Structure 1
Amino acid sequence: MRILLVEDDVQLAEALAEALSDQRYVPDVVNDGEAGWAQAKVISYDLILLDVMLPKLDGISLCRRLRSNGYSTPILLITARDTSTDKVNGLDAGADDYVVKPVDLPELLARVRALLRRGSTSSPPVLEWGGLKLDPSSYEVTYLDQPLRLTPKEYSLLELFMRNGKRVLSRSVIIEHVWSFEAPPSQDTVKAHIKSLRNKLKVAGTPDNLIETIHSIGYRLRPLS
């Protein structure tokens, strides 16, 4: 899942981005409110992490602008001011929740998970494709109840394929959903990660070429017979 992090404290932004990446999210980081607004207009995010005190456009104003323009993406505010007035202002502006600095990472990640669950209640709790199962809430992948050990990128690729069923995904679509816009990979890198994922699925006993290549178009999960 893709998360927009709007935070002008570079050290904190790097720490939060690393923590989010470790949890299999794809974080995009910008450092001011206007850049956050520009990003939100061109990329569909699953959640926005938004600092209140930002240059150019503060977090409360950005939150209000997003909501007034019809954006329903969950918004989690990060505020340095632990007063009821600031919390009320943020919630009134359309934020769904907030955390107070200094940020407690386990608490923040728990709130992120809660908001993502709330925003995707129509999604199945466990994704299945034949004997392959992926649980987004625990990041566990099994084939015929045997666990698979995947890297974060391999997990994200498999989740993307399983959420899209028989739909063919181009490399550009895969890159958009699995990699940060700040560090887009080469097509060879995408191919290498898919090859590694295929090998692990094959070792686990899945049918050959479970992820099939559609020539000159992209990749998809092989339809179940």
Structure 2
Amino acid sequence: MKRVIVSAPSREIETELWSAAEQAGFECDGEPLPQDLCSALFRDPDAMGVIRAANAGYAVATCREFRQADVKNVLFVLLDDAKWEDGCAGPILRAGADDVQPAPIHTDEFIARLKALARRGRYNDHLFIKMPGCTFDAETGVVAAGDKQSRLAPAEAKLLTTLALDPGRVYSKADLMDHIYGGEDEPEQKIIDVFVCKLRHKLLEMNDGLDVVRTVWGRGYQFEPKGFEPTFRHRVRVAR
């Protein structure tokens, strides 16, 4: 049985959502504080989170924080219809929500959407790329490690995202050129080596000396999500 955990601004709203989910056969629980909901979802990867948000800013921040904390559960956001306006769902979805609807929502539609989300399974977006010591937000281009942040250049961000989307694959320079430039105004392929070098410099410091971009000699580059000790460490290690 799928579990649904609800975070709502009042006990009345929480109970209403609980009751609707239970009608659909879901096991229900409530965590009024977002940090408690985040912890509960992390402990139960199969549970679905329902977030009743008073405004879009709160929804964006909450979903983003959950994804940065490596919460991969399905997140269903219900946004107060008084704050609903054209285009407001986009930023919330990009921040990691799986569905966004105005609230209050009709019980039948709420149940139908919960069941559809349950069939879909766990969140599988690569918006946030986890590395040994930091997280890359592909939406903003920012690498964050605690209080430290580093913004990647657009080409570096595309390079990292491309590699991280398929960590088992070795990408040739031609592959990476296509992903970064899309066949338009392409410079010489050696620019990829420059991008990799700059990306490594930024990530080595954030990952405490572990590299995540492996050179596969004669073939190209590969993403190593758990990182490894680079043999060229003495040449590129960023001074602290």
Structure with more relative contact order (C-alpha pairs < 8 Å, separation 6 or more): 1
TM range (shorter): 0.3 to 0.5
Larger radius of gyration: 2
Q: TM-score by structure 1 length? A: 0.48
